[in-house]
Amino acid sequence: MALYLENLDDRTRQLMLDEMEYDIANHQLHISPFLSGQGQRDYENLLRDALQNGNDETLAQSLREHRRILRTLPRRNPSGGYSIAATAENAAQVLAESEFNRYYIRALARRAIEDGIPELVIYRAKPVENPRPESEARIETSLPPQELLEDLRAHTGDERPKLGVPSGPNSGLSVRLP
């Protein structure tokens, strides 16, 4: 099921694309370690198409095709050395949700700044079976858009943002205009 992004419209999509171009220009487009060589080559165009015309589901479906996600990854053993582990079945979905949501949040932060809106409201964009208590406590709280934008630009990909939104894989949290 796709994320429910309340303010996903043409204006937000354009700002999402602008944020992607910002990352490309600054050499910080996140290339996930789950992507195969083919996935790495195709990722920029697949992401652009999803931001322009699709959603996290369409991006995940594109990533699942043509061997774009690795089947196995090296994993560091606690006692030292490495082993080979199977990639999680939902790797494409987790990657797509995370990246699509990050660009959506960045776009909404830009939109709020441009429109003089002082805060964005955290909400659950994806139902989860066992929500984390710390995530539940954040719902309906607000964040300043300028700080949120700066935080997400500084913490791309797998880096956890200081402000905690999004709060990690499968969290389901996003933001909306008040």
Banded model confidence at residue 87, pLDDT cuts 50, 70, 90? very high
Asked if 103 and 46 count as a contact pair (C-beta separation under 8 A), the reply is no
pLDDT of 156 higher than 90: no
- What one-letter code names the amino acid at 151? D
Domain boundaries, the chain: 10-176
Residue 69 carries which DSSP code? B
Q: What is the pLDDT of residue 167?
A: 78
- As a whole number of angstroms, the distance between CA 103 and CA 141 comes to 20
Strand partners, 74: 84
Closest CA to 67 of 25, 32, 35, 103: 35
Read off the pTM.
0.94
Q: What is the pLDDT of residue 129?
A: 84
pLDDT of 75 higher than 90: no
Per-residue burial over 129-164, b if 16 or more Cβ lie within 10 Å, else e, is: eeeeeebeebeeeebbbeebbbbbbeeeeeeebebb
Number of H helices, E strands in the chain: 6, 5
Q: How does pLDDT run across 10-58, given as a tens digit for each residue?
A: 999 999 999 999 999 999 999 999 999 999 999 999 999 999 999 999 9
Among 107-116, 120-129, 166-175, the least confident range: 166-175
Mean pLDDT estimate for the chain: 94
Alpha-carbon separation of residue 75 from 40, 70, 78, 79, 81 (angstroms): 20, 13, 9, 12, 9
Q: What is the mean pLDDT of residues 78-96?
A: 92
Q: What is the mean pLDDT of residues 86-109?
A: 95
Q: What is the pLDDT of residue 153?
A: 96
